[in-house]
Structure 1
Amino acid sequence: MLRARRVARARVAGELGPVQRFPVLENLSVAGDTVRAYRLEHGDRKCRMGMVVSFTAVTEAQLARLVAAPDSAWELLHESDSGKRGPSGYIDKAWAGLDYLFTRAGVGVDLFVDGEALGEDGELYAWSPALVSATAATLKSTPFATLAAHFDAVDMDERDIYPPIWKRDGDDIGLGYLGENYTERVRFFVYAAKSGSGAVMSFG
């Protein structure tokens, strides 16, 4: 994946410190790696302002246009999103926390790594209708209580799970924030899957 290659280049250049690996939770460091790589590329100011993830549902034909013309992807995505109704695909800053819970719970969904890169800037990723459908089925069958059992604010902050709020906000606010976003993600993917839609994930 493009983001993984960016992180690898930064580590080879000595710009990132070593990443601790764990036998079962190996990919939990991906989100932390990406935050550090994003800081290197965009600067701390933009990172502090917030790195957000959002999904936009698109038809299979629209997705094909985006894949065929990645340099115009943002413009085409704006056109495809104009006037659309349905559940929001906006995750705000909850993406890394949700991926942490998915990994700890063994849920086979990765909001951050799944999909194929559109262009070279690492900000847009195409999700096929098949991937959207599979994600919808997995999320629909996974109650948030299953994920919430794996919430560990101390561990999340120690692993640099973005944003660095988990010990500060704790179960009431931090876990509640993830729960609200998870509920909306389930609604988004189920809604998109029913119409056979693909999706585009934007990051930045």
Structure 2
Amino acid sequence: MSVSIAFISATTEELDRAENDPSWADEYIYELYDSDDHSMPDRPRGGPSKAWAGLQFLLDETDVELEFLMDGFPILEDGTLFGWSVEQIESVAGQLRATPWEELAAHYDPEQMTKEEVYPNTWRLDPEGELDWLERSYEELVAFFAEAAEGGYGAFMSFSF
């Protein structure tokens, strides 16, 4: 079993409803992720999937104010679903756009990440391959936040473990 984080854009109305009716949100999120014929199939969605902790390790060394496990507001009491406001998405999108991958990559330290057991703790196995994986995950994250911000969306963040 893996621990992963995924984002899917959400309207303000959806976020309000989710906050007031968490059981609706739980079912709705399942439909958004699993249904190909949903009424809004082109809404932005993206990772970082299992790369979240590795990216957090790198982001913590920058000026980007993003904490995957602390930001947003809880929707489900079990800690598996969070809402992110339009304003939060816009703020993070701006910070990510202003932070090139090279700035994060400069803080990549597979030895330290292994020592700190940064999930998924595979950094020592293929350090260069893992750095490439983090870069792809970062690019997907930047794209998601940019697209969601441009569309005026907030987001749902699912945390599965």
TM-score normalised over the length of structure 2:
0.90
After TM superposition, give the deviation of residue 71 of structure 1 in Å: 2.5
Take 2:32 and 2:115, find their aligned partners in 1: how far apart are those partners?
Answer: 40
Q: 2:25 aligns with which of 73, 96, 101?
A: 73
Select the structure that is richer in strand: 2
The yes-or-no answer on 1:177 pairing with 2:133 is yes
Q: 2:145 aligns with which of 189, 192, 195?
A: 189
Larger Rg: 1
Stretches of structure 1 lacking an aligned partner (at least 5 in a row) = 1-48
After TM superposition, give the deviation of residue 80 of structure 1 in Å: 4.8
Q: 1:31-180 alignment to 2 at 5 Å? A: 49-80=1-32, 82=38, 83-170=40-127, 172-180=128-136
Cα deviations by residue, 1:61-102 (Å, 9 ceiling, x for unpaired): 111111110123211223455352255312220000000000
**Structure number with higher relative contact order (C-alpha < 8 Å, ≥ 6 residues apart):** 2
Percent identity at matched positions?
Answer: 36
Q: Determine if contact 2:6/2:48 at 8 Å carries over to the other structure.
A: yes
Runs of 4+ aligned structure 1 residues displaced above 4 Å come to none
**Secondary structure of the equivalent of 1:56?**
strand
**Secondary structure of the equivalent of 2:104?**
helix
**Secondary structure of the equivalent of 1:168?**
coil
Take 1:190 and 1:59, find their aligned partners in 2: how far apart are those partners?
Answer: 15
Q: Determine if contact 2:22/2:76 at 8 Å carries over to the other structure.
A: yes
Q: Determine if contact 1:127/1:198 at 8 Å carries over to the other structure.
A: yes
**Paired residue total:** 155
Select the structure that is richer in helix: 1
The letter of the residue matching 2:143 is R
Q: Determine if contact 2:58/2:108 at 8 Å carries over to the other structure.
A: yes
Cα deviations by residue, 1:93-126 (Å, 9 ceiling, x for unpaired): 0000000000022322222321111121100011
Q: Residue 37 of structure 1 aligns with which residue?
A: none
**Alignment RMSD (CA, Å):** 1.4
Take 1:162 and 1:202, find their aligned partners in 2: how far apart are those partners?
Answer: 17
Q: Determine if contact 1:99/1:112 at 8 Å carries over to the other structure.
A: no
TM-score normalised over the length of structure 1:
0.72
After TM superposition, give the deviation of residue 199 of structure 1 in Å: 0.2
